[in-house]
Structure formats: C-alpha cells, structure tokens
Amino acid sequence: MTDTSAYIKIDNVSRHYGPVKALHNLSIDIAKHEFIAILGPSGSGKSTLLRLIAGLDRPSEGRIFFKGQDVTALPPHKRGIGMVFQEFLLFPHRTVRENLAFPLRMTQETPAKIKDRLDWAEGILSLNGLMDRYPNQLSGGQQQRVALGRGLVTNPTLLLLDEPLANLDRELRQEMEVEIRRYQKQLGIPFIYVTHNQEEALSMSDRVAVINKGKLEALGERQEIYDHPNTPFVARFVGRATRFDGVSDGTTVNIPEHGYTFSPSAPVAAGRVSVFVKNERFALGASGTPGIACKVIDVVLRGPFVEFILEAANKARIIAVQPKRPDMHAIGAEIALTWDANLAHIFPAEA
Amino acid sequence: MSEPNAAARKRVFLYIPTTFLVLFFVLPLVALVVLSFWQTANYKIVRDWTTLNYVTLATESAYIIFFLRSLLMAILVSVFLVVVAWPIAFFIVRFGGRYKLIFSLLLAVPFLSGEVLRLIALQGMLGPTGLINGALMRLGAAPLRFIMYSNSATFIAFVYLYLPMTVTTIYLSLLNFDLRLASAASACGAGRLRVFSEVIWPLNLSGTMIGFLLSFIPTLSASLAPRFLGGPNGTLYGMSMAQQFGESGTWALGAAMGVVLVLFSIAALVILSLGVNLRRTGFTGMER
C-alpha cells in the first residue's frame, strides 16, 4: 500500500511521448502550507509535470493523490485546482469581472457567493476600478493579478503557477514575487511554482525541486539546495557557479589548468573531479599571494554587487561577484583568486 | 522631411482601391439601380421612370415563391455548412500537425475545375441513372427520388460548392485562436462543452460569421446550381433573374431582382454585424 497521507502526493509518475521520456519515475510529497518551486531548464519536463498535476495531461505510469484521493484519472475541472499561466491567458472577450467569475460559474456557485468572492478578489488583489475593463486595457502587472485572482477565487486545493512572471519586467517581477509569497502564506494552500528562473525559485519557495531531463535531480529546502547541491547539475544550475576540472589524490585537489591546489575539508575519492565554486564565494587576494593569478579585465556594477570579469594566465574567463566597496579592484589590476575550500562542491568527473 | 511624402503615399494607397471599387462596383451598381426603374418592351429598353418592376416582384406569387425558396435555401445551406465545417476545421487545426497546410490546400482542389463542370459531375452522381441511384438499382433497391432534380439536389450542390469556403474561413479563424485559452478554461473548471460554448465558439464567432456569409450570399443569388439540378420545382431567385437577362429579355425586371438581392445581402451583413459585439469575440483592434 502506498502511503497517501501527504496533502499532495506525486507517486512515481512517468510521462512518455512515444520513445521520448518527458518525465521519469518522479515522486514528490507536498505539504499543505508549502510553497514549492519546480526548477529546471526548458525541456526538462517541468511543464509536463505541471500539466499532469493539473489534469491537462495524463501520466503514462504512476499516480497522483490530492488529500489522499486518487485524482490520476480526473479531468482538470474535477480536481479543484487553480492555475496561472505564463501568458496569463485571460479570456480576451470577457471583462475582468467576468474573467474572475468564470471559475465560480463553472462550479455553479450562487450569485451571492460569486459576488462575495469577487469582492474578496478585488480587495486582496487591489483591482479596484479595473473590474469592468477588458484584459487588453490592462497593464502586464494588472493582467498578472487578474490571472492570480482567477486561479484563487474558487478556494482551490492548490494553485499551480506556470512561469507567471516571465512576461513582466524586472522591477514588477520582484514586486510580484513578494506579493505571491504573501498570498500563499495568507491562504495556506500549496503553491506549485514552475520556473526556469532560479532567482524566482529561491526568492519565493520553501522547497525547491530541481528537474533535469525528466528526472528529479534534487528536492530540498532552498537554502540546502543552494549551499549543498547533491549533483553536478544542481551545483551548476542553482546559483551562478564556475566549474574547474581537477584531479584528487584523496586529500588535496589540484586544478592543472591553473596550477592551483587546495585541500577540501572532507576527503574526496581519488581521481578526476569537477569542482564548482559559486561566483560570490571567490576571494580576491593581493597579487603574489597563493591562488590563481588573474587580471581584472572588466568590472560590472550590479547595484550592491560587483562582478569582476577575470582572465587567468591561460586566457580562461572567470566571474567573481563581490559586495560593492569603495576600494575595489580597478580594471587591469592583478589579483590572486582563491576560495574557501569548505565551500567548493566537488563531484567525481562526469564521463 | 518625410511627413508630406508619407501622407502622399498613404493617399495613393487609398486612391487605388477606391478607384477600383468605384469603377467596377459602384458604377455597375448604379447602372443596375437605374435600369431597374426603367422598362423593357420587345427586347428594347424604354427609358420611362417607373416602379412597375418592383410592384411585379412584390405581388406576383411566382417571384415571391422563388424569393422565399432562395432565402430558405440560403439559410439552410449556410447553417448546415457552419455545423459541418466547424468540426472539420477544428480537427485540421487541432490534429493536423505539420500536415495542416496540406489539408487546407486540399480543400481548394475542387476550385481547380469550373463551377459548371462540378455541377455536371454532381448531375452524374445524383441523376436518375447516376452513380448513386444506378448502384442502388443494380442492387435491386429503389432509387432515391429526392436527390433527382429536386431542391434537395440543389441543396447538396450548394453544400458541395461552398464547403471549402466555410471550412477555410473557420480554419483561418481557429488557426489564429490560442488553443491554450481552452486549457485555461479547462483549468478554471469548465467541462468540454463549456470550454467550447464559453471560449472557443465566441472567440471564433467573427470568422464563423464570415464563413456563413460567404455561403449565404452566393446561395441567395445562385443561378447555375438550380438550373442544373433543381428540376421543375427548383427555380430559385437568381436563376429566374438570369432568365430575365437571357431568354425572356426583360432586363429591367432582372435588374430590379438584382437590386433586391443586393439589398438582402446587405441586410444579412448588417444584421449579423450588429448582432455581434466585436469586443465579445476577442477583437482587440479597437481604441488603438
């Protein structure tokens, strides 16, 4: 017997399109109150997973449970979900009010209940004065809020969000990130948020599921995923990291191309290894001290952070991110690049 | 610098189609209207202003019957075509994949032969010794009388002639329709029927209307199909009009009939476009 006690249980689900395995034996348990991000590059199968949870597609194998009930064979309209799409997909021929009322009409709510829920949505999403407009008369952020409202008016079991911020500009996106997370905490239902943008995933979610090539690469607390990636893919994909090819003798790791050796805190199996260092974890020492000798060839200001574009002796480019300080290295400066050996992620080299 | 140039260019682009329309649409129409208020006697035009032609059309039962028959035929054909064309167009768009274009081009294949040829081919299919009845009789069954030289035969011909038009217009409408809106409706709790009636149908209504009119208007004024297939009780208004200009030589009466057809076609267009709130069909070209 499968344990179906989790609020949402995705149990060993696969989806094959002919010989193409879009998803492969994937299991995730999601608790009520949880904001979970499904992070993966395009074509990783993350949108397929979302469609399976929504019921817009059926798994080839495996089962999906909502609150202990098997919903695998149920069509979307019988699952009690809310969904927000990347392009918003508001009904262009309906006003905001009608768009928001649509899911309520589908569940045959009474007019009084519909009015009640519309007032609730209007208030919580600050849509005052917009209710009788058509979607093309709204700004991107307003459309986004209507789309969220349409997903939430029915008090769904869970809300699925398919890259809902991809079409917004950066400033608005950051604003919406905070807002969406606030709604989730307020409503106490799971939000399942699909994105290829790791910043969004990390900024909003409680847990992150990293998907690559149809397989679950990692599932864990966002901090954990960021600080202790368990596979080379996660190390490369979450956060910005630089990869070095190294050789381990068991206690020290040598990076031949830069002639640099360091001693990781834990022993590493001997052999060829891949070393990943997050860009913000590089230390820039004075030229001449131990480290990889580099020259600063450009400096990119990113508000509170600075990106140093470095060039090593072998012409390899490395990007180091540092907090902005008044006395930072200038273009052309010679420096020695090092890192805290404890913070490097070391994996046996991939074939 | 380029301001006056652009304005001039814009004007040229407007003048060309305007001139074309005036020359080949407005002027002949005016001529038709003028002729409809004259008379013909002994194959000669008599330039006396009179409304006699219209009185004839409004009072003689034969013309009234022809007109009502045409109107009914046009409505039935167009409604039937919309009903049949929708699923065809939908399945091409939904499941046609990369063969979509080929399917839609196949729809145009009948146009490679002329209308007369296609009608004669149909005559061969539906006639007393045609393919269908011939085969039935060979099998010892009774022939289907209703498809021989009857209004049913004309109906079949109209459906056959205009199906490609209706399918193509609905196909083009659906092609521009974002099918993911159907997924969105589905995720909002709509069953298949509601997805269709609340989202897919209204958002393709203007395309459907055009498809409807593209079969309605030519059916209303058709003359060839009833002549080839209609039989003794199958005279339609357009066919009768063609006879006024041909055998009977009563051009003025024919012109009046033409005016009636134009007016009713315009009326159909107006009724349909007033009945459709463009906003409600997702039309976003307003206020821009």
Interface test with A, best of B188, B192, B198, B276 (most A CBs within 10 A): B188
Measured between beta carbons, the chain B residues lying within 8 angstroms of A82 are: 187
By the 10 Å C-beta count (0-12 exposed, 13-18 middle, 19+ buried), B165 is classed as buried
Task: Give the strand pairing for A61-66 and A35-39.
Answer: unpaired
- d(C-alpha A59, C-alpha A53), whole Å: 9
Round to whole Å and give the CA distance between A57 and B57.
61
| Cα of A143 to nearest chain B Cα, Å | 14
- A253 three-state secondary structure: strand
Architecture of domain A8-233: 3-Layer(aba) Sandwich (3.40)
Task: State pLDDT tens for residues B206-217.
Answer: 889 999 999 999
Q: Minimal Cα–Cα distance from A76 to chain B, Å?
A: 5
A67, burial (CB in 10 Å: exposed 0-12, middle 13-18, buried 19+): middle
Q: What is the ipTM of this complex?
A: 0.78
- Give the one of B186, B189, B282 whose C-beta lies nearest to A154's C-beta: B189
Contact B124/B132 with Cβ under 8 angstroms? no
Amino acid at B251: W
* Partner B contacted by A317 (CB < 8 A): no
Owner of token pair 């006024």: B244
Whether the per-residue pLDDT at B287 is higher than 50: the answer is: no
User: Which residues of chain B neighbour A75 with C-beta distances below 8 Å?
Assistant: 186, 191
A103 in Cβ contact with A81 (< 8 Å): no
Residue type, B204: N
Closest by CA to A237, choosing from A221, A217, A215, is A217
Sheet holding A191-195, edge to edge: A81-84, A158-162, A191-195, A35-39, A207-212, A215-221
Q: Which residues of A touch B280 (CB under 8 A)?
A: 93
Distance between CA A281 and CA A269 in Å, rounded?
A: 23
- Please name the member of A76, A92, A134 whose beta carbon is closest to the beta carbon of B186: A76
- In chain A, the residue whose alpha carbon lies closest to the alpha carbon of B200 is A91
Minimum distance, in Å, between the CA of residue A51 and any CA atom of chain B: 10
Closest CA to A84 of A2, A193, A179: A193
Overall average pLDDT of the B63-72 stretch: 94
Any CB–CB contact under 8 A between A71 and chain B? no
- Residue A82 to residue B187, Cβ atoms within 8 A: yes
In chain B, residues with a C-beta closer than 8 Å to the C-beta of A133 are none
Q: Over the stretch B141-154, which tens digit does the pLDDT of each residue have?
A: 888 888 888 899 99
Q: What is the pLDDT of residues B110-119, one digit of tens each?
A: 778 888 888 9
Helices (H), A26-83: 46-54
Q: Please report, as a single letter, which amino acid is at residue B193.
A: L
Set of chain A residues whose Cβ sits within 8 Å of the Cβ of B281: 93
Residue A279 is given by DSSP the state G
Mean model confidence pLDDT for chain B: 88
CB distance A56–B186 less than 8 Å?
yes
**Ranges of each domain in chain A:** 8-233, 240-348
Q: Quick one: pLDDT at residue A52?
A: 93
**Window 115-134 of A, Cβ < 8 Å to B:** 134
Determine the residue of chain A that is closest to B202 in CA distance: A93
- Tokens 């007393």 correspond to B128
Contact list in A for residue B185 (CB cut-off 8 A) is 91, 102
Decide if B189 and A76 are in contact by the 8 Å CB cutoff: yes
Quote the CA–CA distance of B143 and B123 in Å, as a whole number: 15
Residue ranges and CATH numbers for the domains of chain B are 53-281 (1.10.3720.10)
Q: Where are the beta strands (DSSP E) in A85-172?
A: 158-162
| Ranges of chain A with pLDDT below 70 | 1-4, 351
- Whether residue B284 and residue A106 make contact (CB cut-off 8 A), yes or no, is no
Helix (H) or strand (E) holding A223: helix A222-227
Kindly report the number of other CB atoms within 10 A of residue B92's CB atom: 24
Phi, psi of B45 (to 5 degrees): -85, 130
Among chain B residues, the shortest Cα distance to A155 is held by B188
Question: How many angstroms separate the CA atoms of B192 and A274, rounded?
Answer: 52
Contact A81 B185 (CB under 8 A): no
Q: Is A196 on the interface with B (CB under 8 A)?
A: no
Q: For residue A75, give how far its alpha carbon lies from the nearest alpha carbon of chain B (Å).
A: 8
Check if the beta carbon of residue A291 is closer than 8 Å to that of residue A338. Answer: yes
Q: State the average pLDDT over residues B29-57.
A: 90
Chain A / chain B CB contacts < 8 angstroms = 64
Per DSSP, the residues of A180-231 read HHHHHHHHTS-EEEEES-HHHHHHH-SEEEEEETTEEEEEEEHHHHHHS-SS
B151-182 confidence digits (pLDDT tens): 999 999 999 999 998 999 999 999 989 989 99
CA nearest B194 in A: which residue?
A: A106
Interface of A with B in 283-312 (CB under 8 A): none
- Which of helix, strand or coil describes residue A326? coil
Give percent above pLDDT 70 in chain B.
96
Nearest to B190 among A77, A81, A92 (CB): A77
Which of A87, A107, A160 has its CB closest to that of B189? A107
